[in-house]
Structure 1
Amino acid sequence: MSIPNLRPESVDLLRRMFSGQKTPWSADISADIFFQETAAQGMAPLLFRKISKQDCSDWPPDLLARLKETALRQAAAELLLEADLRALLHAFADAGIEPLLLKGTALAYSLYPEPWLRPRCDTDLLVAEAEREKAAALLQGMGYETLLEENMDYVSAQKSYSKTGPGIRFSYDLHWQISNTNRQFSRSFADEHLFAAAVSVPSLGEHARTLSKIDSLLYACFHRAGHFSHSGDRLIWLHDIHLLCQSLTEAEAETFCAKARRLEIRALCADAIAVSKSWFSTKLPEQLATLMEAKTNNETFAALLKPGGRQVGIKHHALLELRALPTWRERIRFLFQNAFPPPEFMRWRYSETSPLPLLYLKRFAEALYIFLKR
């Protein structure tokens, strides 16, 4: 499966490097292009670490220097990011709020040899919906500014907060559903007792908790599918899945497969694990290897893997969400909020200076085209 914005020459170099093969430099690609593509995939620090353990003396010196500088900058930034996160988690604990760390930051501190090896643009926090307003007030009270003030529950199940520190920006996404785009999956996943099964992250202090390894892998596979239908794969997400797969015991792998079946995401999981294995030569527990042979054509979320690009992905997401909403009133609210979001969202989403009526007309025309397209 292809990775968007990654040239075949870059694919060959990265695949060979991360599968442990000897990797001489290819004269068929510019070092600058290779660096940009690797960094865009979130793999620059990991590549630097790989290179430091292999003989890459024929690689361009300028490229090696840029990879080293990127890794050092990431490591330095991590010290500040960690201190800010620890302070925030302590404040949440004092307020009686128990968030769960999700995705990149959680995995950086629980699976990766060093947290700076896992780049990310923000830290994701999941809170119980009952604690949503309390958590938002705490963030704002600590000086974090929200990107969009108005709540848009049928457009997004998260809010972004950030503040500027010494030469760095601290950014957090506050979630009150496990999936930002699908309520049906969020409800089903919540029924699997996410918070009760949560585990501690000792390297981040006594107040840091995240999903169990089983739930983290389920979530990583669903998250990857959600973005895959919009914008394609990203290598760092596949590497997360690779590490999670290798961390499971046979018993945990069996539980994972049972949960994937109940959540109707075996197809998403099997595809994610297969693609990850093709890149990183993942050593799979027997249960996960068997999962990839399961018949999953009738699963609810299998549509998210259908080809067709971003527009087809948006259409499948919207249809899944509409079917899952229990009443026509909620479906109408979903359609209205997505067709006519608040003005501040429209200006942020389209980054244009055009008059608002024209932006709404553009959004309506895009939606009409997507839903009428076969």
Structure 2
Amino acid sequence: MNDAIDRFLALSVRRAVRGKAPPPWSEDWPSDAEFHAAVADRAAFHGVALALLGAPGALEDWPGAVADRVREEARGQSFWELGHRTVAARLIAALAAAGTPAVLTKGTALAYSAYPDPAMRRRGDSDLLLRPADRKAARAALVASGFRRVGDARPLQESWATECDMGFAHQFDLHWRISASALIAQKLEAGGVGSRSLPLPRLSEAARGVPPTDNIILIAINRALHHKYGYRSGADKAFEQDRLIWALDLALLCEAFTPADWEALRTTAAATGTAPLVLSLLDASAAMMGTSVPPDLRAGLAEDSGDAALLACIAPLPSITRLRLDLSASTSLAEKLRVFSYALLPGPEVLHERFPEAAHWPTALLQGRRLVFGLGRMLTGRA
């Protein structure tokens, strides 16, 4: 039933963002509360509650319980965005004043460049790319601005959070390279992703974000990684890669593309080895949102087999092989040590997910349990 719900939501969003009347609620659909909850849950999962309200007469013939939940979700998005914008602008100004300029990537860069209303771009955090040499100064600026570190400090990224005046929590993921995988970062950086930026004046005078073509590369990578490793959706972990919000990202970006933009996308996909991932993303957006892709661009992407090492990092791969690839792509001895140390002795975030029944154990014991378990798999040939 999820497939039918998703098709209906996709058509609803597709029409809403173009100001057209929504499709009618099907009379053949179940009228029970369980089905109504499923529709509202899928709208929340896809992150399109606010986008659904853009059409004239939106939700008018939907069952009241479904419409009320979607409207409540949309209100929450709008209020969260008000607080997030204030916090993000304050943080970007603090980083700039500390001499540690940051570039926004993915969702927040899209919200303030491609979307008519930034709140339409549902997300749970913002991603900021900083220079590795600015670690110490950036952390000091965050602490001075009232942020606290949350989660594990991973080799190439770490998360910081604070609250706004409305009580919402706001998280910012600081990336020291363009990807959390050193190998993927190396491939993307070779194609210039992360080195280019554009102003985001709707957020603040100091805000900058990656350009649309580079953001498409990042969305394609993110989509593939989420499909492999999963991501949090409420209390659960989801592995779906066809979220409507990602398809909507592409639809809005590509509507404004010039021939030069399409050529830049083709060139960057070739330079980064991501052509198969970009093609898959474009095809998904075309199927869900009717995104128009030039035939010659699609043909060019289809002929490009991509970078084998990058694609291997996204495909099923033994952990030791992935570690070897990331170590080879690390840019310094210090970075190699961080990558190796975290692979050998990860923090509580990874350990609690691996051993949820033992989350109350001390971190050192969980690390030891993980090492013993891994050694056992290696000795039995199951690694």
TM category, shorter: 0.7 to 0.9
The alignment partner of 1:11 has SS state of helix
Q: State the shift of 1:304 in Å.
A: 5.4
Residue 110 of structure 2 is aligned with which of 107, 110, 113? Answer: 107
Q: Count matched residues.
A: 358
State the partner residue of 1:18. 13
**Does the aligned pair in 1 maintain the 2:347–2:363 contact within 8 Å?**
no
360-369 or 321-330, larger mean C-alpha shift: 321-330
Q: How far apart, in 2, do the equivalents of 1:72 and 1:147 lie?
A: 27
Q: Kindly provide the CA deviation profile for residues 210-243 of structure 1, in whole angstroms up to 9, marking residues without a partner as x.
A: 1111111111111222222212313322322333
What does residue range 1-374 of structure 1 map to in structure 2 within 5 Å?
A: 7-20=2-15, 22-25=23-26, 27-28=29-30, 30-49=35-54, 52-54=55-57, 56-148=59-151, 151-153=153-155, 157-166=156-165, 167-180=167-180, 182-194=181-193, 197-231=196-230, 232=239, 233=241, 234-296=243-305, 299-303=308-312, 306=315, 317-318=322-323, 320-322=325-327, 324=329, 334-342=339-347, 346=351, 352-356=359-363, 359-364=366-371, 365=373
Deviation at residue 199 of structure 1 after TM alignment: 0.4
Identity of aligned residues (%): 26
TM-aligned CA deviation for residue 105 of structure 1 = 1.0
Aligned to 1:3: none
The alpha carbon displacement at 1:294 in A equals: 1.5
Cα distance, 1:289 vs. partner? 2.4
- Between the aligned partners of 1:118 and 1:244, the Cα distance in structure 2 is 13
- 2: CA distance between counterparts of 1:243 and 1:316? 38
Shifted more, 323-332 versus 354-363: the winner is 323-332
- The whole-number CA distance in structure 1 between the counterparts of 2:376 and 2:251 is 39
Q: 2:228 is matched by which residue type in structure 1?
A: S
Worse-superposed segment, 239-248 or 264-273? 239-248
Q: Is the 8 A contact 2:14 2:289 kept in 1?
A: yes
| Offset of residue 196 of structure 1 | 5.2
Contact preservation (8 Å) 2:24, 2:61: no
Superposition deviation, residue 245 in structure 1: 2.9
Q: What code does the residue aligned with 2:342 have? A: Q
SS where residue 172 of structure 2 aligns?
strand
Structure 1 unaligned segments of length 5 or more: list them.
1-5
**1:126–1:176 Cα contact (<8 Å) kept:** yes
Shift of 1:341: 2.3
Whether the 8 Å CA contact 1:274–1:292 is kept in 2: the answer is: no
Deviation digits for residues 137-175 of structure 1 (CA, Å, limit 9, x no counterpart): 1001111110157x542xxx1111112233211211111
Q: Deviations over 1:74-93 (max 9, x none)?
A: 21222121112112222222
CA gap of 1:78–1:191, structure 2 versus 1, over 3 A, is same
Contact 2:103 2:208 in 1 (8 A): yes
The 8 Å contact of residues 265 and 299 in structure 1, kept in 2 or not, is answered as no
> What amino acid sits opposite 2:249 in the alignment?
D
Aligned-partner residue type, residue 260 of structure 1:
A
Over residues 59-104 of structure 1, what are the superposed CA-to-partner deviations in whole Å (9 max), with x where a residue is unaligned?
2012112212221222122212111211222222222221001111
**1:203 aligns to what SS in structure 2?**
coil
In the TM superposition, residue 132 of structure 1 has moved relative to its aligned partner by 1.9
Does the 8 Å CA contact 2:87/2:164 hold for their aligned counterparts?
no
What do you get for the CA RMSD once the two structures are aligned? 3.3
Residues in 2 aligned to 1:316 and 1:160: alpha-carbon distance in whole angstroms: 26
Which structure 2 residue ranges, 5 or more long, are not aligned? 16-21, 231-238
